[in-house]
Structure 1
Amino acid sequence: MAFTIRRASDLPREAAWDAVTDLRAHTAHVPLTDVEVPDGGLVLGAEVNAVTRLGPVAGSDRMLVTALEPGRRLRLVKTGWFLRGWADITVDDDPAGSRVTWTEEIWLPGLRRQTRPVGDRLGPLLFGKVVEGLVAGAERRRGGS
């Protein structure tokens, strides 16, 4: 099972895409976490790393770009030792502007059956704030909703 977050916006599709795929900007919406994107940006095969730190303890969420349709779809597969899963982010045209759909599954390696339901419950709380923050921020900057 996966969780899905949907967010409609009056932003044009390209602007919504730019907002939700600015992975470095996710840092502002995920406490204690810095997202590192390679210098070449989001390209097929690129590795993104989200590092969460609490004092001396740190965890790394490594993700590989496995599908990319610029302006439309990004798929990240979690490849790290701490988290596994995937995220599929799409942005579609909508009569009012655009629609962001973020679908994801997360689990701990070796404990998929036990931990995926926890990810399904907690994921919308965390990633819903990320999607809302990114899209709302882009709307404010543009003077939209």
Structure 2
Amino acid sequence: MRWWIPVVCLVAFQTGRAIAHGAVIQYKTTQALEIQANYDTGAPMKQASVTVYAPNKEDPWLKGQTDDKGRFTFAPDASLPGNWEVKVRSAGHGDIVTIPVGATNVVASTNRSSGYTPLQKGVMTASVVWGLIGTALFFWRRK
């Protein structure tokens, strides 16, 4: 019997990281806004396409690329207070973050990241465990 296969799979899924790429975007305030874009694995989104949208504008306000560490910095126009949207994409993976900027060009929230909620993580973990058990029982059935 290959008893070790489900054990290896269970250990691999308990690490908390998926093999597929999602994206996590964080920002912090300096004289400008600095975007830090990483995949779910923690690897930086190198040379990713960045599009910045000003509040209530459909056309891009600024376009650029992240550096080799997944960073992108820009200074929003002080005359356009509101929610700025920053879209980061690379090879089909990406995310959009909304950054509230006040009339005095002060970011209302200094650290925000997108990701899964604890409930979503719990449901995904339970689904993986259920799938592993079902797969193990399928291959271990007696003929």
TM normalised by structure 2 equals 0.29
Richer in strand (by share): 1
Higher relative contact order (CA 8 A, sep 6+): 1
Rg: which structure is higher?
2
TM normalised by structure 1 equals 0.28
